[in-house]
Amino acid sequence: MEKFRHLGLSETLLHELQKKGFSEPTEIQAAVIPLLLGSDVDIIGQAQTGTGKTAAFGLPLVETIDEHTGSVRAIILVPTRELAIQVSDEINSLKGKKKIRILPVYGGQSMTEQMRHIKAGIDIVVGTPGRIMDHLRRKSLCLENVSYAVLDEADEMLNMGFIDDVETILSKTNPEKRTLLFSATMSDHILKIAQRHMRKYEVISVKKNSLTVAQTEQKYYQVSSSDKFEALRRILDIESDFYGLIFCGTKSIVDELAGRLVEWGYNAEGIHGDYSQSQRESTLNKFRKKRVNILVATDVAARGIDITDLTHVINYSLPRDAESYIHRIGRTGRAGKKGTAITFVSASELRKLTAISRITKTEIRREQLPSISDIIHAKKDRLSCDLRAIREQGLHGEYLEIAAQMLNESDPADILAALMKHVFKGELEKSNYPEIKQIKDSPAKRGNPHIKGGAENVVVSLGKRDGLTPKKLLRFIQNESNIQAKSIREITIKESVSFLSVHPGDADRIVKAFKNHRRNSKPLVYTSAPSVASKNKKIGSRWHRA
């Protein structure tokens, strides 16, 4: 932990980092942490997801904020609910036993419950601009005592039309605060915001290694939880030279999965936080030397594994957030070599995978699992190649005498088939592979923005005469339902009514979020037949840039 120690972090925090499996700081952490701890400048950081920026600002916040002061000391603005939860969870995991309270605040969550927590005393608020604005209007949130204001993924907030809200929120904060702005891109608009709201600031630019995406093929298979193991076996058996990591969400799943793989004859071992240092080193040594070609691990246990020639990373359990996804798949596709990242998802997890795809700005392609016939055919091809290689290399001399004797007694094909049956048992039998239920395409279309599909229409009983604009309607919908901008394809504003065209499946989510909102005793928001909105003039996507 020496490199972290040199950044100025306390022994208490170093202990927490060590427990989490951190070994050395990332580039953004090494640049930001000492600036935050040892100076009073504001910071602009150009850094993408997966660079460790949450810990870069989260660790100094935990280090410098006093325990339970009774007022909000830091406000962190993020563009989405998913990121609010992710950032909040990450800082919570870093604080250890320090008594500071962190609260994620976003639309779609009970406003009353949020107000209750804030009133009880919160030190760090992580929220979306729309919901923070709601609290400011209700005077349930006071930002006058904040010491830090953090804008995370500022470019995303700009793209989603939140920047006006962001500036309003910043204007309500303590003028003596320190401001941190993080963005993957650095547009003129973002720099102007910095100039208006920052004092003396420094710019730190970190380019994330593009090989993670460029050299890694990313795909997912939609399977039920009960079929995951059989799906994994098919992937392992179709590949001729699998050498990879399989990530699980918990220690118990690691133990169970590694055990089942060994029972089925796979060369696998598991590793997680309960392993002693000697056990960990022994397992990793076997994996590095390829005496074990399958390593089943948790995220924490896999930290520090730096092997450049992994062919695969498999997300047996869906990662908790986009940053974890990047860390996982970044372990393959290195040193100029191609790699494959595979994720197993159930129908209920598709929305989370969509969020990961959007945040990481990568396409995760859906594919169908190999069929039983495909696997048997691949095994036969490998068997033929292996036998041919043994014959060509002359490695079979001690068996020539018995082979000649047997050939004098029986048909050569029968003898060879019997020999292979003796050696390979039931390896080529189709009964080894239970059928897996095939899931139709429609659920994937609802969950993945890269799979084209139809649209569903939502009607809102408000229009131009109510002062509604596309931008206001977008904010209204997002504040209550947390539907993302990219899920709303078209907005049409008429005199007394408005129409939304949304990704299939999102219509029900919007209507449910507004179930208690009524106008003239009728639902304020409801679904319509597809023809209703399509007959109206389309505004297109101009509102995205409003």
DSSP 98-157: ----EEEE-TTS-HHHHHHHHHH--SEEEE-HHHHHHHHHHT----TT-SEEEE-SHHHH
Q: Which two tokens stand for residue 257?
A: 């999965």
Q: String of b and e for 427-441 (b: at least 16 CB within 10 Å)?
A: eeeeeebeebeebee
User: Which DSSP letter does residue 543 get?
Assistant: G
Find the range with the poorest average confidence among 189-203, 280-294, 506-520.
506-520
| 341 within 8 A of 211, measured Cβ to Cβ | no
What is the rounded CA–CA span in Å between residue 385 and residue 25? 46
Angle, CA of 125, 86 and 227, to the nearest 5°:
150
Which position has the higher pLDDT, 523 or 450? Answer: 523
Predicted confidence (pLDDT) at residue 144 exceeds the cutoff of 50: yes
Largest CA distance in the chain: 97
| 439 within 8 A of 367, measured Cβ to Cβ | no
What is the rounded CA–CA span in Å between residue 510 and residue 512? 5
Predicted confidence (pLDDT) at residue 480 exceeds the cutoff of 90: no
Q: Which two tokens stand for residue 388?
A: 């041919």
Question: Strand, coil or helix: what is 387?
Answer: helix
- Beta pairing, strands 268-271 & 244-247: unpaired
Confidence band, pLDDT 50/70/90 cuts, at residue 343: very high
> Please, what is the end-to-end C-alpha distance for the chain in angstroms?
46
Phi-psi region of 443 (alpha: psi -120 to 50; beta: other; left: phi over 0): alpha
Residues 166-215: pLDDT tens digits?
Answer: 999 999 999 999 999 998 888 888 888 888 889 889 999 886 554 345 57
Question: Strand, coil or helix: what is 346?
Answer: coil
Query: Given this model, what pLDDT does residue 176 score?
Result: 93
Residues 347-385: pLDDT tens digits?
Answer: 888 888 888 887 777 888 898 898 888 888 887 777 777
| 146 within 8 A of 178, measured Cβ to Cβ | no
Confidence band, pLDDT 50/70/90 cuts, at residue 256: very high
Say which residue the tokens 């809200």 belong to: 165
Query: Given this model, what pLDDT does residue 541 score?
Result: 30
Closest CA to 437 of 347, 514, 321, 507: 347
Query: Given this model, what pLDDT does residue 80 score?
Result: 82
Question: Strand, coil or helix: what is 441?
Answer: helix
What is the rounded CA–CA span in Å between residue 546 and residue 538? 16
Residues 125-143: pLDDT tens digits?
Answer: 999 999 999 999 999 999 9
CB atoms within 10 A of CB 62: 25
Q: Which two tokens stand for residue 513?
A: 């979020």
Query: Given this model, what pLDDT does residue 504 score?
Result: 57
Domains along the sequence of the chain with CATH: 2-205 (3.40.50.300), 211-369+437-443 (3.40.50.300), 382-432 (no CATH), 454-539 (3.30.70.330)
What is the rounded CA–CA span in Å between residue 242 and residue 382? 13
What is the rounded CA–CA span in Å between residue 24 and residue 2? 8
- Give bridge partners of residue 220 from the DSSP assignment: 343, 366
Closest CA to 170 of 161, 183, 181: 181
Which position has the higher pLDDT, 508 or 223? Answer: 223
The residue type at 517: H
Mean pLDDT estimate for the chain: 82
Query: Given this model, what pLDDT does residue 486 score?
Result: 63
Question: Strand, coil or helix: what is 355?
Answer: helix
Sequence-ordered strand ranges (E) for 461-524:
488-493, 498-502, 518-519, 522-523
